[in-house]
Amino acid sequence: MTAFRSTTAHMLRDSKEYVSQTLMGGLSGFESPIGLDRRDRLNALRTGDIGFVHSWDINTSVDGPGTRMTVFMSGCPLRCQYCQNPDTWKMRDGQPVYLDAMIAKIARYQDLFKSTGGGITFSGGESMMQPAFVSRAFHAAKDMGVHTCLDTSGFLGHTYTDEMIDDIDLCLLDVKSGSEEKYHEVTGATLAPTIEFGQRLAKAGKKIWVRFVLVPGLTDSEENVEQVAQICETFGQAVEHIDVLGFHQLGRPKWRELRIPYPLEDAKSPSAQLKKRVMQQFESHGFVVY
């Protein structure tokens, strides 16, 4: 893997000033090319030599099988009404991280991943906003024998080549609603790209865990759930299961802090009865549902 090197005088990696700016906290352990000027950053982003990262975490059985390193990338083209992390919407609000530093971090945990059946998951924001960085990290992970998982809405599926898809073992695919009208209401975007990407994954023999967020009064109608199930059927045997995720208000403080009008200020979490009904709808189509 070729490391990114700037031809400008901004890359002072050995200077005391640079060392003092190395990321800590949520991105502890990553070197960040803070000294790069705008042109160099854009070029490095395009090639995948750097990526803009919000944070990362080690977790178990949340973002894929086993113990996983989940990397939350910055930037997202959608504006979901129930978004938990509006602080990840703008790529510029993340921190630039070297690809080499990301690969080194994956290598550090590869024995843990292999012993637990875990691996690396890229989430967001929207992980597909930065296809070169994520796909190159996945390719390196596959060379190490590490399981790879992409958590995405699929909206930017057109940015992924078939070769990039080859390095994805599992996709956590958010099917946010079942009709173009409802999908646009929920996200501000269009549904078709999600369907197309899911079908490409299925054709390539990849596994899919579908995620559906159940919001009372927004995504819970029988018609909407039925349409989501019909979409999932087009993915065939690729769908290992569907996760019905109950809406909660854990993201509300971030909307308030960022002073963004929050459309679900008074929304409630789904009742046990509602969640059971929705799960049974999906099960009636033959899906394993959690």
User: Residue 170 sits in a domain of what CATH number?
Assistant: 3.20.20.70
Give me 74's structure tokens. Answer: 């910055």
Q: Tell me if the bond preceding 125 is cis, omega within 30° of 0.
A: yes
Q: Is residue 259 part of a domain?
A: yes
Identify the pLDDT of residue 82.
96
E strand residue ranges, the chain: 50-60, 67-73, 95-98, 119-123, 147-152, 170-174, 207-214, 239-246
Residue 249 sits in which domain range? Answer: 52-94+102-283
Q: Is residue 4 part of a domain?
A: no
Q: Is residue 155 part of a domain?
A: yes
Q: State how beta strands 95-98 and 50-60 pair.
A: antiparallel
Q: Cα 200–225–122 angle (5° rounding)?
A: 45
Q: Is residue 169 part of a domain?
A: yes
Between CA 48 and CA 161 the distance in angstroms is 14
Identify the pLDDT of residue 61.
72
- The structural domain count of the chain equals 1
150, 57, 131: which is closest to 91 by C-alpha? Answer: 131
Identify the pLDDT of residue 165.
98
Identify the pLDDT of residue 35.
60
pLDDT along the chain (290 residues), means of 10: 31 32 45 66 88 92 92 96 95 91 95 95 96 98 98 97 98 97 97 98 98 98 98 98 96 94 96 98 98
Element of type H or E holding 224? helix 222-233
Identify the pLDDT of residue 40.
78
Beta bridge partners of 281: none
Identify the pLDDT of residue 30.
63
Q: Is residue 9 part of a domain?
A: no
- Amino acid at the residue 38: R
